[in-house]
């Protein structure tokens, strides 16, 4: 029975593994202590948990004995771990990530996974300490420390304001003055400042503004408000719509003047009359410009900036209300913002040196009609007569005269618009 057992084990092991043995002759019977050897369970525990010989239940290897019963349940299953389990947790070579002696602190033992140093090795990485005389850290192992203990000069009083070195923030009374460019003329008289490591005394003379001059002299000025210097800097003394040094004006302003154009009269019948003085804004030359392209059928008055329909009588005569509607709905040129002109806009066309019609010589209008019978061939304005809401003012082109009539009367509608 004993010979059969050894032969069976030999066959199983030789199938995948090469076994090495010492003396092939037994040194004693299987129960003798000299034949004791570790079990696979012991090897597995050593690989997995690092258990030493004294940690095993028997205190060491168990002598080989004749089996008296079949396999029983154990920690590792019905039969315990086998050689495959041992191989699964056994270390393997790792040339890429395995530590070398230079990676492990000097004097410390470790299992090297590198092929060139496989097995137990002793670390060789040197133990280093920081030196207050050098900012260089040499490769090696450093014990936990506080940099302020290594170099006692690492304190706030030795570090410039606004700078933090290894967690130590500089003191507020220590500044780097190497970038300073001020001189005594930049520092107030009686004051000193450190510039590029030197103490500089200032000589700027204190100044004050004067209410009698707008000149600001070079120097130092204390905080103030300008209306304390000059009480006249107030809203009541500043024109409405104007802001002087943050003070908005509220004083009434004179309305801008609107220059009136000349009448066109050039003949003088007496010294001091219109023809003699010719007061008013001079007419531009040319007075009118006829539109082209999209603006064909339109004429711009270069004196007033108004644009008129070139055809002054494009429709039949109509009452005042229809004339207003007609102009409002007109689409002419490149726009539809036409309207019926007021009486002053109509009169702005007149040249009182002309007659039948009273329009400037060389004008670009067509169908500027007139009639010798007063009040029968006129041009409506949009201006209603004051206190007479049923009547409106009109212009007669024969002599450039204006008058008024009932709104049910028939007259021409001459459209106008603001060109600029």
**CA 142: distance to chain centroid?**
47
Six token digits for residue 287: 């007075």
pLDDT of 291-308, one tens digit each?
999 999 999 999 999 999
Q: How many alpha carbons fall within 13 Å on the CB side of residue 91?
A: 17
Peptide bond into 357 cis (omega under 30): yes
- Residue recorded with tokens 């103030």: 224
pLDDT averaged over the chain?
A: 82
Triad 306, 309, 312: Cα angle to 5°: 120
Q: Is the pLDDT reported for residue 3 higher than 70?
A: no
Q: Measuring CA to CA, which residue among 140, 174, 418, 166 is closest to residue 300?
A: 418
The whole-angstrom separation of Cα 399 and Cα 359 is 9
pLDDT of 183-238, one tens digit each?
887 888 888 887 877 888 888 888 888 878 888 888 788 888 888 888 888 888 88
pLDDT of 314-360, one tens digit each?
999 999 999 999 999 999 999 999 999 999 999 999 999 999 999 99
Buried b (16+ CB within 10 A) or exposed e, 337-371: ebebbebebbbbbbbbbbeebbbbeebbbeebebe
187: three-class secondary structure by DSSP? coil
Q: Is the pLDDT reported for residue 74 higher than 60?
A: no
The whole-angstrom separation of Cα 206 and Cα 224 is 13
End-to-end Cα distance, the chain? 128
pLDDT of 182-195, one tens digit each?
888 788 888 888 78
CB atoms within 10 A of CB 382: 19
């Amino acid at each position: 029975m004993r010979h059969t057992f050894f032969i069976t084990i030999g066959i199983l092991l030789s199938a995948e593994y090469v076994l090495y043995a010492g003396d092939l002759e037994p040194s004693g019977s299987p129960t003798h202590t000299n034949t004791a050897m570790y079990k696979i369970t012991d090897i597995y525990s050593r690989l997995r948990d690092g258990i030493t010989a004294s940690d095993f239940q028997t205190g060491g290897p168990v002598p080989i004995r004749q089996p008296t019963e079949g396999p029983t349940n154990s920690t590792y299953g019905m039969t315990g771990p086998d050689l495959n389990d041992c191989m699964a947790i056994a270390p393997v070579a790792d040339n890429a990530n395995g530590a070398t002696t230079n990676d492990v602190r000097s004097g410390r033992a470790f299992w090297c996974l590198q092929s060139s140093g496989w097995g137990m090795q002793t670390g060789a990485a040197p133990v280093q300490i920081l030196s207050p005389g050098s900012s260089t850290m040499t490769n090696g192992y450093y014990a936990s420390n506080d940099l302020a203990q290594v170099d006692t000069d690492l304190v706030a009083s030795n570090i410039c304001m606004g700078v933090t070195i290894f967690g130590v923030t500089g003191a507020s009374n220590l500044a780097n003055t190497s970038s300073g460019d001020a001189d005594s003329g930049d520092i107030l008289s009686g004051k000193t400042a450190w510039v590029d490591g030197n103490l500089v005394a200032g000589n700027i003379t204190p100044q004050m503004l004067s209410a009698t001059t707008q000149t600001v002299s070079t120097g130092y000025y204390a905080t103030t408000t300008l209306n304390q210097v000059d009480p006249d800097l107030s809203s009541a003394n500043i024109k409405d719509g104007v802001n002087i040094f943050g003070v908005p004006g509220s004083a009434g302003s004179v309305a801008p003047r609107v220059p009136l154009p000349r009448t066109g009269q050039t003949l003088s019948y007496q010294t001091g009359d219109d023809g003699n003085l010719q007061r008013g804004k001079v007419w531009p030359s040319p007075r009118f410009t006829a539109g082209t392209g999209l603006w064909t059928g339109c004429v711009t008055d270069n004196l007033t900036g108004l644009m008129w329909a070139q055809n002054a009588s494009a429709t039949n005569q109509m009452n005042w209300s229809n004339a207003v509607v007609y102009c409002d709905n007109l689409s002419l040129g490149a726009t539809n913002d036409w309207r019926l002109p007021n009486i002053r806009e109509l009169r702005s066309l007149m040249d009182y040196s002309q007659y039948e019609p009273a329009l400037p010589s060389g004008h670009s209008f067509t169908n500027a009609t007139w009639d010798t019978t007063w009040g029968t061939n006129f041009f409506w304005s949009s201006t209603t007569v004051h206190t007479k809401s049923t009547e409106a003012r009109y212009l007669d082109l024969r002599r450039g005269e204006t008058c008024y009539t009932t709104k049910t009367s028939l007259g021409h509608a001459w459209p106008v618009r603001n060109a600029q």
